[in-house]
Amino acid sequence: MQSPFVLYNSIARTKQVFVPIHAKQVKLYVCGMTVYDFCHLGHARVMVVFDLLKRWLVSQGYQVLYVRNITDIDDKIIRRALENKEPIRQLTDRFIQAMHEDAEALGVLKPDHEPRATEFVPDMLAMISRLIENNLAYQDQNGDVLFSVRSFPNYGQLSGKSLDDLRAGERVEISSFKQDPLDFVLWKSAKLEEPQEVKWSSPFGEGRPGWHIECSAMSCKLLGHHFDIHGGGADLQFPHHENEIAQSVGATGDKFANYWVHNGFVRVERQGQAEKMSKSLGNFFTIRDLLKQYDPEVIRFFILRAHYRSPLTYSESHIEDAKQALSRLYKAVGSVQACEAMNWQVICPDGVRFQEAMNDDLNTPLAVSVLFDMASEVNRTGSRELAVQLKTLANVLGLLTRTDQQFFQANVGMNNELSVEYIQALIEQRNQAKADKQFARADEIRQQLLQQGVALEDGRGGTTWRKV
């Protein structure tokens, strides 16, 4: 009997059987990027993890409506635009385009909706007005509108933090007109030095929305007041997601999200120690930095080898190991085309083991181990049918989407390495040498390429090559 799909629900602090609000329909909201710079490895993990969640749900027959927002108005965005002396829209458009390019490279499918915060300001204002009407928000002497945390009885249910503990850790700013240090901003009154393009008219005066209200307004507008899954990085659990619950429930009276899913932090290994990735520590990697050195599928595979809730530790040795491991899988599937993939749900027993792993809170480390067991058997038996099955299961994870030759040739030409044209020209010279029975010259060309990191492989279909 097939095991049910279980997810770790952060608000319940345990794994729970996933039961959608509507049969075979899932509504998923994920907090996306703040677009003032290139995406980093932490962003890559969010994109890949929730792409995996959608892929798995779809493979199980669910219709998934996936929303991942874009924060295109924020203090950091304003600061960066002023530093660059460029319009904010120009800055955000540029980095949104870069984000899309990075996501596509990593095999991340496009969300069904990708709302920009600036397009939903009227919805945010309507929600803020309802919170004021419900006595959960107020306007202070500075003109800011704030949420009254102590007026919302269940505040802290997601993070497990009590108001007294939170209060003890807060500092009161001398210039603050908050009724309580825990209160957070819903609407920021306009400042003279800020550009006009970040100032909206409102019943509370000219200004712009706070960060937390964005996701509440966009998710409720696009998915309804009550939906299935809300996701994001572990760093957003508090205060961002805690504040989202307070705002959304406070404004609508509905439950908001049934399941809260958070992926773990990204750490960087340096001098044998794992430390948090940050610009201040000088261990910060953008996706683009990594794509200059590694095939994007290697990065995706590196992310998926770790369980999504576990810390992901980056080091050159770890990603090189992922590269070699993925290479072994590609060698096993050989020239199998994606179009040959079969209905993976009828595959036994490996398909059953794979499904059991994925149904257990997306246990990709165990699912990947099933793939390697299959690869070993393919290498032992030479079974093409099993190779097709292996590729089919891997495709569910967004892996092994190319032929082995496409994979091994993918990075040629990067970093001023050998070009495909150069390699092909030498192969043609070698073929001619063999035809002329100049076997010593043919062997010389093979060794020349091998010394340059290219291995030639002769087969019935001719000579192919791969990076080594």
CATH number, domain of 221, equals: 3.40.50.620
Q: Is 1 part of a structural domain of the chain? A: no
Most confidently predicted of 45-49, 159-163, 400-404: 45-49
Whether 284 and 379 map to the same domain: the answer is yes
Last residue of a domain, one of 263, 292, 326: 263
Whether 95 and 244 map to the same domain: the answer is yes
Whether 46 and 163 map to the same domain: the answer is yes
Whether 149 and 42 map to the same domain: the answer is yes
Mean pLDDT of the chain: 90
| Residue range(s) defining the domain that contains residue 437 | 412-467
Last residue of a domain, one of 408, 428, 450: 408
| Euclidean distance between CA atoms 317 and 271, whole angstroms | 12
Residue (of 37, 46, 23) closest to 265 by Cα position: 46
Give yes or no for residue 412 having a pLDDT over 70: no
pLDDT confidence tier of residue 465, bands split at 50, 70 and 90 = confident
Whether 240 and 354 map to the same domain: the answer is no
> In angstroms, what CA-CA distances link 100 with 39, 43, 46, 81?
10, 12, 14, 20
Whether 382 and 251 map to the same domain: the answer is no
Tell me the per-residue pLDDT of 141-200, one tens digit each, with 9 for 90 and over.
999 999 999 999 999 999 998 887 776 545 545 446 888 889 999 999 998 888 899 999
Whether 321 and 254 map to the same domain: the answer is no
Whether 209 and 231 map to the same domain: the answer is yes
- Higher local confidence (pLDDT), 413 or 151: 151
HEC string of the chain equals: CCCCCEEEECCCCEEEECCCCECCEEEEEECCCECCCCCEHHHHHHHHHHHHHHHHHHHCCCEEEEEECEECCCHHHHHHHHHHCCCHHHHHHHHHHHHHHHHHHCCCCCCCECCEHHHHHHHHHHHHHHHHHCCCEEECCCCCEEECHHHCCCCCCCCCCCHHHHHHCCCCCCCCCCCCCCCEEEEEECCCCCCHHHCECCCCCCEEECHHHHHHHHHHHHHCCCEEEEEEEHHHHHHHHHHHHHHHHHHHCCCCEEEEEEECCEEEEECCEEEECCCCCCCCCEHHHHHCCCCHHHHHHHHHCCCCCCCEEECHHHHHHHHHHHHHHHHHHCCCCHHHCCCHHHCCCHHHHHHHHHHECCCHHHHHHHHHHHHHHHHHHCCHHHHHHHHHHHHHCCCCCCCHHHHHHCCCCHHHCCCHHHHHHHHHHHHHHHHCCCHHHHHHHHHHHHHCCEEEEEECCEEEEEEC
Q: What's the predicted TM-score (pTM) here?
A: 0.88
Q: Is 83 part of a structural domain of the chain? A: yes
| Euclidean distance between CA atoms 336 and 338, whole angstroms | 7
β-partners of residue 270 are: 273
Residue 455 burial (CB count, 10 A) = 13
Ranges 16-30, 122-136, 342-356: which has the least confidence: 342-356
Q: Is 421 part of a structural domain of the chain? A: yes
Tell me how many domains the chain contains.
3
Whether 301 and 220 map to the same domain: the answer is no
Last residue of a domain, one of 366, 390, 408: 408
**Do 144 and 188 contact (CB within 8 A), yes or no?**
yes
Mean pLDDT of 258-267: 96
Whether 64 and 43 map to the same domain: the answer is yes
Residue 14 burial (CB count, 10 A) = 9
Whether 333 and 448 map to the same domain: the answer is no
Whether 21 and 141 map to the same domain: the answer is yes
